[in-house]
Amino acid sequence: MRYSMLCALPVIVLVMLLGQFRTAAAWAESIRVNGSGSALYVMKPLIKAYAQAHPGVRVEMEKPLGSSGAIKALLAGMLDIAVSSKVLQPDEMSQGCISIEYGKMPLAVVAGKNVLRKNVTTKELEDIYSGKVLKWANSEPVRLILRPDADIDTKILEGLSPGMGKAVRDAHVRRGMIVAVTDPESDEMVAKIPGALGAAALSAILVEKASFRVLALNGIMPSVGNLANGTYPLAKDIRFVTTRNSSPALRRFINFIYSPQGRAIAGKAGVLVTAKGGNTL
C-alpha cells in the first residue's frame, strides 16, 4: 500500500521529497556563527578551509549582528557561537556566556581613494575630528565616517590620545555627521564617499579587498607585524563567545581555529593570534 501511494505521487513532489532527504543527509551537522563585521571577515577563510576538510558540516554565517547583537542571539539559542570584539559584561557571564580570547586585529585609519595622503598624525586626526580642519589639502571636504559612540572602534580611537578622546566625542555631537552602524556599512561608505575618512580592521583590506586608501599612523603602517612589535597602537580584540552547552561539532570547529592551520589562516586575514595552546572549551 505504501509503495503504491509513493508511485502515485506526482514526479515533481517526489523529486522535492528526495531533495530534502539528500539535503538533510548531506548536512549531518551545522554550526551557526555571527558577530562583529570585522571578525566575520576573518571567519570567511577559516570557514572555507574547514568546509573543505569536513564536507558534512555546514557553517552558517549571515550578515553581521555586531558583538552585542550576536551575544544576545547566542543567549536566545539562535546561534552556536559569537565572534566578538568586546569584553563580556557581568550580566552576559551570569547568563552562561563563556569567552575565550584569540587575538587582536590592527584597526587602520582609512580614507577614500581620492584622498591623496599616505600618512596621518595623531595631531591631524585630533584637528579633523574636533572640526578644526574641515578640508583636505586639495580643498575636498573631509567627510568623517563615525561609528556609534558606544562602538568598540569609537572607544579605540578615543584611546589614541587625550586630545583624540575629546575630539571624537566632539564629532559625535556635531550636526550632520555620518554614522555607520556596522563594519561593512562603514567600509562601503569610506570607499564610495568622496573625501571620506574612517577606520577599518585590517581584515577588511586583506580579506574583503576593500577599495579605500590605508593611511600610516605617525609613519607606521597597520600590520600584524607592527602590532606584534608594539609600534602600531590601534587594535581591536577578537574572541569567541559560547555557552556551556557547546555541541561536539562546535568544539571540533573551535579546535580547528586554534590549530596551527587555523592560526596561519587567521594570520593571513589580519589577526595577531595571541592565544596560547589550545582553546579552553
* Domain assignment of residue 258, yes or no: yes
Q: Are 111 and 91 members of one domain?
A: no
* Domain assignment of residue 278, yes or no: no
- Residue at 80: amino acid letter: D
Q: Are 165 and 266 members of one domain?
A: no
Residue 245: the pLDDT is 85
pLDDT digits (tens, 9 = 90+) for 224-247: 999 999 999 999 999 999 998 889
pLDDT digits (tens, 9 = 90+) for 89-104: 999 999 999 999 999 9
Containing 217, the helix (H) or strand (E) segment is strand 213-217
What is the Cα–Cα distance from 135 to 143, expressed in whole angstroms?
9
pLDDT digits (tens, 9 = 90+) for 115-139: 999 999 999 999 999 999 999 999 9
* Domain assignment of residue 262, yes or no: yes
* Domain assignment of residue 279, yes or no: no
Q: Total domain count for the chain?
A: 2
pLDDT digits (tens, 9 = 90+) for 2-11: 434 434 444 4
Position 257 pLDDT exceeds 60: yes
- Pick the residue with more confidence: 66 or 280? 66
Q: Are 124 and 228 members of one domain?
A: yes
- Cell matching residue 140: 575636498
CATH number for position 132: 3.40.190.10
Rounded alpha-carbon distances, angstroms, from residue 67 to 28, 88, 109, 128, 278: 28, 10, 21, 28, 23
Show the domain range for 263.
Answer: 2-102+237-273
* Domain assignment of residue 281, yes or no: no
Q: Are 84 and 117 members of one domain?
A: no
Judge contact between 39 and 184, C-beta under 8 A.
Answer: no
What is the Cα–Cα distance from 58 to 33, expressed in whole angstroms?
11
Q: Are 263 and 222 members of one domain?
A: no
Judge contact between 38 and 205, C-beta under 8 A.
Answer: no
Q: Are 223 and 137 members of one domain?
A: yes
* Domain assignment of residue 52, yes or no: yes
- What secondary structure does DSSP assign to 16-29, as a single string? HHHHHHHHHHH-SE
Rounded alpha-carbon distances, angstroms, from residue 2 to 5, 8, 12, 15: 5, 10, 18, 17
- What secondary structure does DSSP assign to 114-176, as a single string? T---SEE-HHHHHHHHHTS--B-TTSPBPEEEE--TTSHHHHHHHTT-HHHHHHHHHHHHSTT
pLDDT digits (tens, 9 = 90+) for 35-58: 999 999 999 999 999 999 999 999
Q: Are 96 and 11 members of one domain?
A: yes
Q: Are 95 and 156 members of one domain?
A: no
